[in-house]
Amino acid sequence: MTQSPNRLVATIFGAVYLLVGVLGLFVAGSNFAGEEGGLLLGVFQVNHLHNIVHLAIGAALLIAGLRSTPAAKGTNVTVGAVYLLVGIVGFFLVGTAFNILALNTADHFLHLGSAIVLLGTGLALDRSTRASHAV
């Protein structure tokens, strides 16, 4: 079976985000939602709601990556767009009551990096072969 770049990226990112979500459950402390949270790997601030989001995104990416190239491509673009939004908006949420995911600066840059890879893969790779043969 040939692995498309979108399926590979979705599968890897899905597995990583699932792992991050599980590991985060051990450091999140007692706060379910809000500005406070524990530090994952000593850098990324997480609370239980943040971990649930990571688990959901990880599951969506992993399932799409295992399913088909179109599913992986669509999921990569969708999750990438959401992470781009969260990465940008997150900078403005720190220190406010709207920061219910306990986001910190390291989280913002990680989300932006994830967005670049997911959007780049989803939008640029696995294009239809019909489009490349058009005159």
Structural domain boundaries of the chain? 5-125
In whole angstroms, what is the distance from residue 123 CA to residue 73 CA? 8
pLDDT (tens place) for every residue of the chain, 135 residues total: 358 999 999 999 999 999 999 999 999 988 898 888 899 999 999 999 999 999 999 999 999 999 999 999 999 999 999 999 999 999 999 889 999 999 999 999 999 999 999 999 999 987 764 444 344
pLDDT of residue 45: 92
Q: What's the pTM value of the predicted model, to 2 decimals?
A: 0.86
DSSP state of 44: E
By residue count, the chain amounts to: 135
The structure tokens listed for 74 are 């669509």
